[in-house]
Structure 1
């Protein structure tokens, strides 16, 4: 998720080295590489949902990726971390509209392109799935996740619900970030603890009050429910920046993230989306950042990992459209045997998603962002 794109890139003035009060440019390439890993988790989760495989192969995919949607939680925490890290100061005054314009330029060209693709797919393959005016308008305005109705938060390109959450996070970021930067690390630690407690409290309340598993909107899609993950990322970035993060190293953090991930598969429904993975994901993000700062080895800093991370937002946005196209062509869930068509269909879906992601990143995402920012500068100059 996020994103951003779904996750903000690090070409947006990356933040300070650990412990520095005056930020100086420091890239964190491992975080870009990690974005690809999270996007891949979500891809295989949707392979599981659409049931490309049948029999034991489906059981294996379910075990490995049945909670792959926790990758969106990773995106939200990472989004807060990178936005805070890349901000030399909290946006104030005229800087707030400029910040919002940059964020809009990050996400909207690609969002608009995938909306067009989803509409085209609907006209060609499934006219009965085309949205009414209300859901379409909400989707275009990135407010669809505020409406607890499936045609809204899962209409058109289903993964775009997370962009509605990110849009809300972006609007709130100047207000959220100002006190953390104003009062420094002494404020960041209690904020991180409170945000972590909020992430765990929501599913606990749902379990104790007997809220049905069907209340998926409040648990998963509601932007207010997901806000603590974003806030946690901001607070942890400030702790890392000040050299006050005391979490485990990269290997231990990866182990903690993996344990939390597979624990999610065993947990009750309410705890699957964030509660079991939030500690491991947060530690992994912070540890990867510290590894980059210290020049320590990192599996996500390689050229290929970083390049895949750069196209991960486009991959995230387009992959479900490719997978659903396959579902329509098969007339339902394929449920193919692993060695008798299943792997071939999976390879085709992955290859098509990656190829489309590269094309969208190259010809829509990057030039669209540049065009919007160039127009913004021209408008500002004229006024």
Structure 2
């Protein structure tokens, strides 16, 4: 059965903004686990399944990016306008955190793979967001380590106008098969990595070789499968073909996918393990907002945290590294003290993120995202507005 839903002319999807908070905290928890702040073997054994899957948070962001950029796409909008808006959204935060990382690494010399080499492969590919094209851990995880994902996002944005044009030509009845195909390809990538990459130097601290990690986790064309999945999911919702799924059930499935990923072989747990639950959660949360159904993710605090989540994502590991370096670069603490250190890092990260959001991100987005003059006519190319606010015509949704 179907029901016609007619949202206001400017419809918001606050639950998706709130869910960004959860995804950012997944990444934060993984990095706390990775730097071994807790000395207790018991706590670390528990965290091996409850906090080790930070990659699930990144998968959420990649699917969400494709979904929201499609959902907010403007008709007859030149590609250059879309690229400008995306650039001013990510580049200022990236430059600020790159500079902070350069200062830290110059003082401490503590890189993932050895001594910091200054200007060169240790820093320049990261500065220009091309680090993900190098199959070396010291390059794709250089500088501010979480910024590796910006190299993927930059590629997604570059390809988005043409990709959306192509995906929109899929007949509505074939959108679900397309989504299943994309999920199957995500699961195929670890198989290809194990088949065609024969292992090399391991990524420090991780049970995987650099080449396999690069192919499955950081190579932009491979990670674009999740981004395109988000595009397809948005078009399924737009076409009124999303089934009736409880937001509570989708949330529980996503939690199960997060925990379950930690029991899979490492390469499968990085991305594939949680892709199906996340592909159910994001559209279901969007539909809950459209239809005005109850959602635990759209509260004022969750939405505010979601708005600053990109800044938080960009600063949190820098804060973690500065604090850990100041207190003892290789030190671990007993559980009460480790909880205190974690709380300190979280508070300082949120403070730094708030400053970055209000002093850099938002002012420059407002200043630079508007065209300085009326652009001449150009071929219609889909582009996207701010990710927080969306507008859609009347929808027909399954129930």
Could you give the per-residue CA deviations for residues 93-143 of structure 1, whole angstroms, max 9, x where no partner exists? xx1111111110110111111111111222333374254323422222211
Instruction: Name the residue aligned to 1:11.
Output: none
- 1:302 alignment partner, one of 299, 303, 320: 299
C-alpha change, 1:247 and 1:120, in structure 2 (3 Å) is farther
**Which is worse superposed, 224-233 or 256-265?**
256-265
**Residue 334 of structure 1: CA displacement?**
2.3
**Residue 380 of structure 1: CA displacement?**
4.6
Bigger relative contact order, structure 1 or 2 (CA pairs below 8 A, ≥6 apart)? 2
Once residues 199 and 25 of structure 1 are traced to their aligned partners in structure 2, the CA distance between those partners, rounded to angstroms, is: 34
- 1:42 alignment partner, one of 27, 51, 74: 27
TM-score norm. by structure 1 comes to 0.88
Once residues 71 and 181 of structure 1 are traced to their aligned partners in structure 2, the CA distance between those partners, rounded to angstroms, is: 27
- 1:96 alignment partner, one of 60, 63, 79: 79
Name the structure where helix makes up a greater proportion of residues. Answer: 1
For structure 1, list consecutive stretches of 5 or more residues without a partner in the other structure: 1-17
Contact 1:30 1:301 in 2 (8 A): yes
- In the alignment, is residue 283 of structure 1 matched against residue 280 of structure 2? yes
- Residue 89 of structure 1 aligns to a residue whose secondary structure is strand
Instruction: Name the residue aligned to 1:9.
Output: none
- Residue 170 of structure 1 aligns to a residue whose secondary structure is helix
Contact 1:19 1:242 in 2 (8 A): no
Instruction: Name the residue aligned to 2:388.
Output: none
- In the alignment, is residue 337 of structure 1 matched against residue 334 of structure 2? yes
**Residue 378 of structure 1: CA displacement?**
4.0
Instruction: Name the residue aligned to 1:372.
Output: 368
**Residue 210 of structure 1: CA displacement?**
7.5
Instruction: Name the residue aligned to 1:346.
Output: 342
Once residues 192 and 90 of structure 1 are traced to their aligned partners in structure 2, the CA distance between those partners, rounded to angstroms, is: 26
Contact 2:55 2:271 in 1 (8 A): no
Once residues 87 and 185 of structure 1 are traced to their aligned partners in structure 2, the CA distance between those partners, rounded to angstroms, is: 18
For structure 2, list consecutive stretches of 5 or more residues without a partner in the other structure: 200-207, 377-399
C-alpha change, 1:155 and 1:208, in structure 2 (3 Å) is closer
Aligned-pair Cα RMSD in Å: 2.3
Contact 2:193 2:215 in 1 (8 A): no
TM-score norm. by structure 2 comes to 0.84
The number of aligned residues is 359
- In the alignment, is residue 156 of structure 1 matched against residue 153 of structure 2? no
**Residue 23 of structure 1: CA displacement?**
10
